[in-house]
Amino acid sequence: MSDEPLEAAATAAAVYGQLEKLATDHEAAAQSIRATMKLLAAQNGHGWASGGTTIELQNGDRFTVSRPAAKAIERVRPARREATAKLLAEFDRKEVATLDAAAARAGIEKRRAAIGVLVHRGYLKRKGGGFLRTAKEFVP
């Protein structure tokens, strides 16, 4: 009598166990993706989730998305604009300056300098390896 049917059954059981584990792992990932999709659907056009939006996950967990208070946003805005004005003051209209040098002189972390926005809005212009200040006035 051959042991082939027993070996085949053992192999099938091992494969089944591996597939079951994979399915469980992927279901957890799918649940995370669904939760992210719900969060994205709850956002309005300004990138903030609508206040009071409740999201329920498949495992029964619930959480409510809250929006930052308008007062908190208004407290931060003047400081950000002041930092931007400091950074722009470090760029010259004739001499090319790098972001590293300008940020260091302005006392701002390089990663906090939204240089792409300043170029896009026309306050700075790319030139070689650095940037030039344009004539556009920045009003903080």
Question: Which of 38, 33, 58 shows the shortest CA–CA distance to 50?
Answer: 38
pLDDT beneath 70, residues of the chain: 1-6, 8-9, 38-60, 62-70
Distance between CA atoms of 78 and 86, rounded to whole angstroms? 12
Q: Where along the chain do its domains lie?
A: 4-65, 70-133
What does DSSP assign to residue 59? T
What is the assigned CATH class of domain 70-133?
mainly alpha
pLDDT tens-digit profile of 61-101?
A: 766 666 666 677 778 888 889 999 999 999 999 999 999 99
Q: Please tell me what DSSP assigns to residue 111.
A: G
